[in-house]
Structure 1
């Protein structure tokens, strides 16, 4: 697994982790924002009127209402990215990462408007009478680029696991174990059965469930977040200040956090923003293609609301909870994840300015003299005898390091370390360090008016958010399989989807996030290319929509 994690790191470094990817993602959103004259601002109120049914027409083709399509798409985006993803971004990039999540959301509102409009325009009716749409259909039917459509559809299937299935149950299981003590495998088994029962009903059952779950889960989570924010109200001003002041300089060191460069904060903020709202990824258009609408542009306007609700509202609340609580700079007792742990040669102290500068350079990929440790560590009853090494975990210096074979059995013997990694995968490492993902959010939620009960809000919110995301993504995957191999391929896909969902309940958290990061980028790039090629058609579609809209209003007055 560690070798696979390294492979994913290298692949992500060439794709989403590369310097060019955030610029491409934001650049496409910026281009369409200017080209279409800020539709995310001008059409925002109109989008609300559409989703509330003000302009709904009877007899329109489709399987769901505007609101159900929005709820299904939101259930696919409002998931672990809002709870664990924001925490991961802050733990890696500091407060500045939240600023770049906002930028991704703002420009992403336009990107989503474009991709949903074009996908809805070229949707098709399948043999069973349901609607099927998504970027693969406009790529095929309009661009005549079947190869690109196939590439996107394959990436969608992969991403349905990397985005929709694996990270969701992984975070649910982690939260359930931390809060209630439930074994991850047991959580995975129960929810896998429920998932199978839901997705067998197709889009109508999925839409019916998500349209009820999404408002409920949002209300629960928002109340819990405000309970922490108002409790720590004196820290809100400094929290906002740290977000903006560090946006273009990187986040300074604070507490156990060793600091993050601008490049790191920018990259991780944009990546986590994409994982959260999926603008440009091409997933939401698959859900919106099912909506009952004669005008594709109207459905595109509905999608403008998604990044706003998902990232600018919910992710901001999570970020303020984490920053105002101070939990992101504190070390906690935790089991070290191998994929986010490294052994360095020599003793480093975060209180020493020289050491701190060296570790900052090492963690941010800058030139440094830090060397990875290779050698033997002699251990007696879990404690290292020699002290010629330093453990880095979650971008912080590990303290009170202990080695064990299981959660209860300490290790005595020799630990072999090569190039900063433990050779024996059976050996576990525990100690104090910074934490990330859902674990960090859970701790932060206990520092408010609800006290320790705050962790139950996170667990319930995580359960509802992540499970609904898994439901929505199963639909995205089965539409992609329908395009690739026909309707007969859907059932085998669903079996593998549920099986992967179960497996990920007890897999390494960081490894799952890495897989998701790669899958997202592989899906995003073909979609961005496609919508850029069709930019003139998009503008013409918007102009035609307003001409028809004004004509209809004039006829109503007469």
Structure 2
């Protein structure tokens, strides 16, 4: 049974889906005039500035920054620390280049997702904003029956991922295993504390989740990036060589001495693209669920802010991990992999060895915890779409119960099924993005035309 599901998982996450994910990003990049380069400074400006004309009565549940932090909470997880190590171990240093490329095109995809999420969001019976692929599929596609079917499929797969995939078991096991290995804390103690913490936050809804995410995500990301930068700057010559190795290996593959057998170009591409997609979730349709809760008048503005999520997640955080690993030289050590590999690289790179270990351990702890919170919210919105607001409380009870048993379960079959469901999420979402790309282009042109006229008036008044 396990082998059967592994075969299905390999098929779902095979070249066709990866090509479709990157291809959608490439198509949107061309249609939008490489917006992720030319409009990135504006997007970063919007991220840290308040929108004009937004008051307390504006439509939306949380600030645009809080919505982004909630999305980043779900995407910046163990994958940014452990997953990058796995990709480089499998595909060699060149995998990092293909991770960058997937993220570059993924920024256009994430922009379109955030834009459509706000444009087609609705207000539920509790007065909260609901949006995401299920809504822009149902409300945006001309064929309403097809839109409803695809929206329902996405919601079903989304709940599956929240219960059994990215949102639970990998994160829970990472927290329990990390605390046991680093501080000898019994798994049962971690399980109890983690369950209580998740319950206290998630039962408070999106406002409570976003408040926690607004604090933890920037704090932990800055700490992790600072630790990485210290290593990269103090080992500047090795960092320069690491950059060269990434580019060379991306096109030539890389054969290393010792236990590492070497990776060809095809393996580097697959490892890098797959890891990039898993890390930033561009195209999977998860982040727009959080974007829909943003308090904003402009769907384009929120799309730009959403786009920065992929930039922060992969171009910054994953790059930090990847370069630290490569410049350390430990990536080719056959005896190290996953968390142990990343931890060894950080320990060896900092003057005080223990500090490097703490950065990785606490990074995994906080990143994994916020991922659980973010995916709890995604699953909640999918549940509300399928069954109404009354079903939300039952969904939360089940989610908390899964968190409680998660530290004690290490079932390969569950994780394999989770990978399948996670990949299947992307298919209806990508159909929606391609079908509604005309709407994305039209809204974008309208926004920047109006912005140009507004900026001209402001300049004349000065």
Q: Verify same fold: TM over 0.5.
A: yes
Would the aligned equivalents of 2:69 and 2:217 in 1 still touch at CA under 8 Å? Answer: yes
Give the equivalent residue in structure 1 for 2:22. Answer: 26
User: Structure 1 residues 511, 95: CA separation in 2 closer, same or farther (over 3 Å shift)?
Assistant: farther
The residue aligned with 2:62 is 64
Report the Cα offset of residue 49 of structure 1.
2.1
The aligned residue for residue 12 of structure 1 is 9
- Whether contact under 8 Å (2:9, 2:419) holds in the other structure is yes
- Partner residue of 1:330 out of 329, 333, 347: 333
Which structure would you say has the larger Rg? 1
The match for 1:270 among 266, 270, 273 is 273
Q: What whole-Å deviation, never above 9, does each CA across 1:145-180 have from its counterpart, x for those lacking one? A: 100000011111112231122211121222212211
Q: Find the partner of 2:103 among 102, 105, 110.
A: 105
Taking a change above 3 Å as real, the CA distance of residues 522 and 77 of structure 1, as seen in their structure-2 partners, is: same
- Post-superposition shift, 1:514? 4.1
Match of 1:550 among 452, 457, 460: 452
Aligned-pair CA distance for 1:496: 2.1
Match of 1:136 in 2: 134
Shift of 1:297: 0.8
Q: Could you say what secondary structure the match of 1:163 adopts? A: coil
* Structure 2: distance between partners of 1:548 and 1:509: 54
- What secondary structure does 1:281 align onto? coil
User: Are 1:119 and 2:122 matched, yes or no?
Assistant: no
Task: Give the secondary-structure state (helix, strand or coil) at the position aligned to 2:283.
Answer: coil
Q: Which moved more, 1:33-42 or 1:171-180?
A: 171-180
Higher strand share: 1
Q: 1:119, 1:138 within 8 Å by CA — same for their partners in 2?
A: yes
Matching of residues 343-358 of structure 1 within 5 Å: none
Structure 1: state its 5+ residue gaps: 332-433
Query: TM-score scaled to structure 2, two decimals?
Result: 0.93
What SS class does the counterpart of residue 253 from structure 1 fall into?
coil
Q: 1:150 aligns with which of 149, 152, 157?
A: 152
RMSD, matched Cα = 1.9
Q: Which has the higher helix share?
A: 2
> Contact 1:49/1:55 (CA < 8 Å) preserved in 2?
no
Matched, 1:50 2:54: no
The Cα shift of 1:515 comes to 4.6
Kindly indicate whether structure 1 or structure 2 has the higher relative contact order, using CA contacts under 8 Å at least 6 residues apart.
2
Provide the TM-score with structure 1 as the length reference: 0.78
Deviation track 1:234-278 (CA, whole Å, cap 9, x = no partner) reads 322232222111113333234221222322221121111111111
Aligned twin of 1:444 = 345
Q: 1:506 to 1:244 in 2, by over 3 A?
A: farther
Within the candidate set 215, 223, 227, 2:226 is matched to 223
Residue 373 of structure 2, aligned match among 471, 487, 508: 471
Between stretches 540-549 and 253-262, larger displacement belongs to 253-262
Q: Is the 8 A contact 1:80 1:462 kept in 2?
A: yes
Residue by residue over 1:71-111, the C-alpha shift from the partner in whole angstroms, topping out at 9 and shown as x without a partner, is: 11111111111111111111222212111111111111100
Could you report, residue by residue, the CA deviation over 1:469-516 in whole angstroms, capped at 9, with x for unpaired residues?
110110000000000011122122222222222333244497676455
Aligned: 1:459 with 2:361: yes
What residue number does 2:395 align with?
493
Contact 2:54 2:297 in 1 (8 A): no
Q: Does 1:179 align with 2:182?
A: yes
Q: Deviations over 1:502-535 (max 9, x none)?
A: 3332444976764553232111111111110111
- The Cα of 1:54 is off from its aligned counterpart by 4.5
Q: Give 5+ residue unaligned stretches, structure 2.
A: none
Contact in 2 for aligned 1:111/1:280 (Cα 8 Å): yes
The size of the alignment, in residue pairs, is: 452
Tell me by how many angstroms 1:46 deviates. Answer: 1.3
